[in-house]
Every structure is written in C-alpha cells, then in structure tokens.
Amino acid sequence: MPAQKDNLKPRKPGRPRGSKPNTANREQLINIALSLFSQQGIARTSLNAIAREAGVTPAMLHYYFNSREQLLDVMIEERFLPLRARISGVFGDYPDEPVKALTEMVRTLAAIAAQYEWFAPLWMQEVIGEMPVLRQHLHERFGDDKYHATLAMVKRWQAEGKINPHLSAELLFTTLLSLVLVPFSRMRNDERLARLTPEQIVSNALAVLLQGIGPASCGSSAR
C-alpha cells in the first residue's frame, strides 16, 4: 500500500508565526548596541552597524527591534531606568542626611560603572557630546520633574545649614558625576590611568567633595 502524502503545506521562509524571540540573542544584541553607543554615541550608531558588529543580518536585528527608537526605548526601560532608580533611591534613603546621601551616591555610581563598562562612557557621550539622544528621550518620557525635585532638595539642605550655601545646586550633581564617571570612562583607554581602582576613584571623589583641595588643616582652622 503506497504511503500517504503529507497534507501539510511547506512552511514559508522565516520564523514560524507566533514563535517567540530567543531571549539570549535579544540580550546579546542589546549588549552590543550599548557597547557601540558608548564608544561612538547613539546618534552616530545605526542599526546596520549594530547588526555588523553582532554578525547578524539587518533583517534579524529588525525582527527584535523595528527601529532604533524602539531599541532605545527597550534599552532605557530594561537597562538604564533600573540603574537610575538605584542611584536616585539613595536620596530616598537619606533625605535629611546630605553628606551620607552624597557619599552613598558616589559609591553607588562607582559600583555601577565598575559592573557595566558601557555606563561611564555612554554618560560621557550623552552629556558632553553634541547630540544627546538619550537625554532627549528621557526628557520626552519623564520631563523635568525629577530634576526640579533634586534641585529643591539641595536648596533645602542649604537653607537648613546642612551643606555649603555657596554651592550651585545646578552644578552639584554634574560635578559629582564627573568626579566618578570621567575617571572610569578614561581609565580603559588611557594607559596613564589604567592602574586606577574603583576604590581609588571613590576615595578621590569623596576627598574633593567633602574636604576640598586645600590642606586638611584649613578646614579645621576655619571652624
């Protein structure tokens, strides 16, 4: 008796409808995108460049992310916002202890920069660069509420006599970020800084932040 022919139609090329993306591949693509973004900036990095670096076709990349904007949304939601919440959470823990809050912020920033190599250079690209795509996306999604709340907190600390009244609230956190993230960004490409450790970066940032650059005796004699 002849064998019956299979009545199923041949499957069309491509992934079966309803199949789920491979999570490992998706995570790897996000990691590669973050690495490229941190090296050359988001505005200068195309999806095709990410696909080439990953060794996949542009079609494969588009399977996971329809556009660079969608990739950015995923990156912000899954990678950047959890770290941002971790940093801002420090101030929720110490709302009335500015020295403790700023000290813990330095340590938290250093821990994040040491764990995620893309974090510090991406911050450099997006803050100092001419086309801050990440900042624009964050502003569009969240506005300036957190920024103004942070300024209000610093000014309250100053009014309460808890921190130096001559500090500029608008510059305090930019200064703090620079003290931590600039060394982390440069140490991987500058042999003069290659031997720096996270502990040294934290120690230096805290010394400048809490004691200034004058001799230690100056602070005590002024009291």
Question: 153 is written with which tokens?
Answer: 């907190």
Number of residues assigned to the chain:
223
User: Residue 126: which residues within 8 A CB-CB, separation 6 or more?
Assistant: 41, 42, 132, 133, 134, 135
pLDDT at 181 over 90: yes
The mean pLDDT value of the chain amounts to 83
Provide the whole-model pTM.
0.80
pLDDT at 219 over 70: no
pLDDT in tens, 70-82: 999 999 999 998 9
Please tell me the predicted confidence (pLDDT) of residue 41. Answer: 87
Question: 26 is written with which tokens?
Answer: 């998706």
Q: How confident is the model at residue 206 (pLDDT cuts 50, 70, 90)?
A: very high
